[in-house]
Chain A
Amino acid sequence: MKFNKIALASAMLAASSMSWAGCQIDGRVSIIGNEFPAIQAVAANAQECTGGEIASNLTADHQKLNVAGMQGNPAEYTSAIVANSSIVALMNEDVVRPLGDLVAKHGQGIKKNQLITINGEIMAVAFMANAQHLVYRSDMLAEVGAEVPTTYEDMLATAKKLRANGIAENPVGGAYAAGWNLAQEFNNMFLGYGGEHFKAGSAEANVNTAAGVNTLNMMKALSEYMNPDFLTHDSNATNAEYRAGNVALMNMWGSRAATLVTVDGVADEVKNGFAIAGPMTVGGGSTPASTLWWDGWTIAKNISDADAEATFIAMANGIAPSQMDAEMAPLAVWLIDGYEPTDKAKGVFAAAGAGTIPYPMLPYMGLLHTAIGNELSDFMQGKESAEQALSDIEAAYTAAAKEKGYL
């Protein structure tokens, strides 16, 4: 974090001293988004533009604010920075505008694959990618002579060896905290088993299937090798286990790989043994058991065209290829032209290269995600069968989807 902050500060310094020529706006810009360093860097770059007022509100609570802040007319926020899971909420409320004409006019620096197109209309411009992938301890694996696992079955076998040889009591780490984290692990594994979350062409949940049962059994098997408190471990707690040297294998966010061992006080063996690899497959499938994510910006619908244009110019400046320098590069896995992946980014790149499925950008995916997170913990504690858990998920989802008018 500290490393990031310093990097960020110098990124801003470098960026401002460059004072990119040609970024002249004529209108109001107001950005809302999450607060992590990569997004702060983008917002800081956007604020280099001159000629209009540019405000930003970067906070972890952005998802609670963005819809309300864009519903008014004129909207408080002219741009919201979102991910593929959260753009859905803005699309559902119809508060973001198509960007086709603005991209044609001012989108010179933007690569084609950065454009998020929904129903033929450009709705967002992506600038960074993320995915969960394997993080392991090369020294611990070497001790038992294990290869780097490429499947979850390998991971189980390696975990068994590590425990049997007394190298680690609970060698597997996983963000299995009941709620969002647990549901995300379910999604990864479910997609790895070839599952489809919904019946084709409808909003009906489709998790009570063979793939669903396999998914739960695999998660249960993995949890046997985790710290017994795994249902309370979110990704922060899981990383803490890794840093303390208790964990040898875990599925972790690419965005957290860069800082995993740079925190003060990490022991040398953990630092030296730290290694990352692409996401694993499961059940003989070829699709990795992971999801791909992007972060990008949108532009509000309920603002004047002049403000929209100003916002587009400023945001495009925020992610312009000329901004990409040594300070900005390590902050994220950028999708921006001219970005050279760092070592820590190879897990995310491997995920994209191996055909990992992007997190579904569906209006009702959020509801299913919540339902999974709430209903799985009984199964993970061995209190109910996999079938019962899956039918509970479907029942909880159905009630929520009816309320929101999807069923």
Chain B
Amino acid sequence: MLFAKNSGWKLRLFNRSFVILWLVIAAFPFLWTLWGSFKVELDFFSKEDWTSALTGVRTLVQHGSTITGDGYQGAWIEEEFWRASFNTMLVCFFVVITSLTIGTLGGYALSRSTHNYTFWLLITALIFRAMPPITLVAGYLLPFFEWNLWGHLSTTVVVLVAINQPFTLWMLHSFFTKIPKELDESAKVDGCTQFQAFRHVIIPVMWPGVITTGLFSFLLAYNDFAITAILLSKENQTMIPKIASFLGTTQTEGNVMFAVAAVVSATVPLFLLVMFFQRQIVSGLTAGAVKG
């Protein structure tokens, strides 16, 4: 492993302190949000003095304790946030499965074909991705309403898969190009069809790329606002538009602490997910398959 135990202590010190610095920068706003989610709004978004978010002075006055679970109770019980998180789970699951399935087939084909059109296909996909999604969504509305497709989770899944396909395709393509051609070539010499070669030789070694891509597909579906806010009806709403609806509008009051509590709780499944997949993400395909 690079920079392993035998590297110089100066380098190791630099490494460690850089990691720590980065982790602080990356996690601090989130930890701050986590802490603040147990305060009242005027403490967390204090316009008087930033220390109130730490000490919770107003929370103490209001609730007799410096922490309160009101935000969580409001979001989960009063506003039925669980419904939205269930919808998000459905959407994410199907988006990841579908985009990986069709993306892997496509990305693999693109990485193995040497005809000119593969290049142009990749470029076209890239140009497709340049389109601002809000413009696309504005175009979907009329036909979707007309054909009664609007508002359903399945429509949103299909749209999210399609819109993220250029990204998935490019990412998998660049991972597949790194898997040596000789692997499937030799399988084909042994009498396999292209698909069998893919099935038996490539699939076992493609997981780090696929899992990384899957992680991004997941995050895209999970965090999407532009599409889900417009294409889903109220009862099918996913988490992000639901959170947005807690924020209120110009002329109406919202409840920001519901939103903050919802965001914190929405991060928990992700924590579990990353912990669960960490072995795949961490160890990757170090063993055997690809030796460059």
Question: Which segment of B7-15, B45-53, B166-174 sits at the interface?
Answer: B45-53
Q: Number of B interface residues at 8 Å Cβ cutoff, please give it.
A: 42
Q: Which of B124-132, B141-149, B175-183 contacts A (4 or more CB under 8 A)?
A: B141-149
The smallest C-beta distance from A325 to any residue of chain B, in angstroms, reads 21
Question: Which among A234, A236, A253 has the highest number of chain B CB atoms within 10 Å?
Answer: A236
Contact A264 B40 (CB under 8 A): yes
> What chain B residues lie within 8 Å of A293 (beta carbons)?
251
Inter-chain CB contacts under 8 Å: number: 109
Instruction: Decide if A162 is an interface residue (CB 8 Å cutoff).
Output: no
How many interface residues does chain A have, given as a range?
35 or more
Q: Does A259 contact B (CB under 8 A)?
A: yes
Question: Is A251 an interface position by the 8 A CB rule?
Answer: no
Which of B56-64, B83-91, B212-220 contacts the other chain?
B56-64
Q: Mark A260-297, 1 if CB is under 8 A from B, else 0.
A: 00011111000000000000000000000000010000
A118 CB–B CB distance under 8 Å: no
B residues within 8 A CB of A208? none
Q: Which chain A residues lie closer than 8 Å to B142 at the CB level?
A: 68, 71-72
Cross-chain contact A71 with B234 (CB below 8 angstroms): no
Given the interface contacts A2-B255, A259-B253, A266-B42, does A64 sit within 8 Å of B58 by beta carbon?
no
- Smallest CB separation, B59 vs chain A (Å): 7
> Contact between A244 and B48 (Cβ–Cβ < 8 Å)?
yes
Binding site of A, secondary structure by majority: helix, strand, loop or mixed? mixed
A77 to chain B, nearest CB (A): 9
A35 interface hit (Cβ, 8 Å):
yes
Q: Which residues does chain A contribute within 8 Å of B258, judged by CB atoms?
A: 1
Q: Which of A2, A253, A264, A265 has the most CB of B within 10 A?
A: A265
Q: B190 on the interface (CB 8 Å rule)?
A: no
- For A265, the chain B residues whose CB sits under 8 A away are 40-43, 58-59, 61-62
Q: Flag whether B65 is at the interface (Cβ < 8 A).
A: no
A256–B253 CB distance below 8 A: yes
Among the listed B42, B59, B234, which residue makes an inter-chain contact with A244, where contact means beta carbons less than 8 Å apart? Answer: B42
Contact B74 A65 (CB under 8 A): no
CB–CB B42/A180 < 8 A: no
B145 contact set on A, CB distance < 8 A:
68-69, 71-72, 76
B42/A253 in contact, CB under 8 A = no
Quick check: A60 and B58 within 8 Å, CB to CB?
Answer: no
Asked whether B230 is an interface residue with its Cβ less than 8 Å from the other chain, the reply is yes
Closest chain B residue to A1, Cβ basis? B255
Contacting pair B245 A181 (CB below 8 A) = no
Residues of A within 8 A of B257 (CB): 264
For the complex, what is the distance from the CA of A181 to the CA of B249, rounded to whole Å?
Answer: 11
A303 at interface, CB cutoff 8 A: no
- Picked from A240, A253, A264, the residue with its CB within 8 Å of the CB of B251 is A253
Shortest CB-to-CB span from B250 to chain A, Å, is 5
Neighbouring B residues of A69 by C-beta, 8 Å:
141, 145, 150
Shortest distance from the beta carbon of A344 to any chain B beta carbon, whole Å: 12
A255 at the interface (CB under 8 A from B): yes
**Does A34 belong to the interface (CB within 8 Å)?**
yes
**Closest chain B CB from A11 CB (angstroms):** 15
Chain A, 201-226, contact with B by CB distance < 8 Å: what is the 0/1 string?
A: 00000000000000000000000000
A246 in the interface, Cβ–Cβ < 8 Å? yes
Does A175 have its Cβ within 8 Å of any Cβ on chain B? yes
CA distance in complex: A205, B268 (Å): 53
Contact with B along A1-13 (1 / 0, CB 8 A): 1101100000000
**Closest chain A CB from B180 CB (angstroms):** 49
CB distance from B10 to the nearest CB of A (A): 44
Hey, what's the 0/1 contact readout for B199-237 against A, CB within 8 Å counting as 1? 000000000000000000000000000000110011000
Give the residue of A68, A235, A240, A245 whose beta carbon is less than 8 angstroms from that of B45.
A240
Chain A CB within 8 A of B244 CB: yes
Q: Please, which residues of chain B bring their CB within 8 A of the CB of A71?
A: 142, 145
A236 contacts which chain B residues (CB < 8 A)? 247-248, 254, 256
What's the nearest-Cβ distance from chain B to residue A40, in Å? 11
Render A38-63 as a binary contact track against B, CB cut-off 8 A, 1 for contact: 00000000000000000011111100
A-B pairs, 10 with minimum CB distance: A265-B58, A244-B47, A68-B141, A265-B40, A36-B252, A265-B42, A1-B255, A264-B40, A259-B253, A72-B146
Taking beta carbons and an 8 Å cutoff, which residues of A are in contact with B? Answer: 1-2, 4-5, 34-37, 56-61, 64-65, 68-69, 71-72, 76, 130, 175, 180-181, 234-236, 240-241, 243-246, 253, 255-256, 259, 263-267, 293
**What would 26 A/B residue contacts be, using CB atoms closer than 8 Å?**
A1-B255, A35-B252, A36-B252, A37-B252, A59-B241, A61-B241, A64-B138, A64-B141, A68-B145, A69-B145, A71-B145, A72-B146, A243-B42, A253-B250, A253-B251, A255-B251, A255-B252, A259-B253, A263-B40, A263-B41, A264-B59, A264-B70, A265-B41, A265-B43, A265-B59, A265-B61
Q: A59-B241, A246-B48 are in contact. List 11 more A-B contacts (CB 8 A).
A: A1-B254, A36-B251, A64-B230, A69-B145, A72-B146, A240-B45, A241-B47, A253-B250, A255-B252, A264-B59, A264-B62
